[in-house]
Structure 1
């Protein structure tokens, strides 16, 4: 995702299932209405065919969830 503006209204912006090969890379992301930086930019799950996936991790890991702090701006 590049050059995206988001109004914070949830727990996570993006969810990926790494066991299915998903990745997410962010740059130029602006988050509005989240002054405390509470929203998780990317949440990693173990995807399943039936039922709910298992949450594994959040934040950047350098391989599946790629971003640097300078790529994200929080406004308000």
Structure 2
């Protein structure tokens, strides 16, 4: 099945423990990127096409980050 890369940007200020826990819960790949007060996690997943990948990444993120301000960008199916 084709893979996709989702970049999940969290806009809330996170301390080191929150970042680590959030990365684990999201299943993030590698270390998160810091962009000012924002944190960007890279999450790999599998889906047959871009619409399915976007829906899956958005649903997964919503379940994990309930209460946080975030944005999900799926780079595409690889």
Q: TM-score range by the shorter chain?
A: under 0.3
Q: Which has the larger radius of gyration?
A: 1
TM-score, normalised via structure 2 length: 0.26
Q: Which has the higher helix share?
A: 2
* Larger RCO, structures 1/2 (Cα 8 Å, 6+ apart): 2
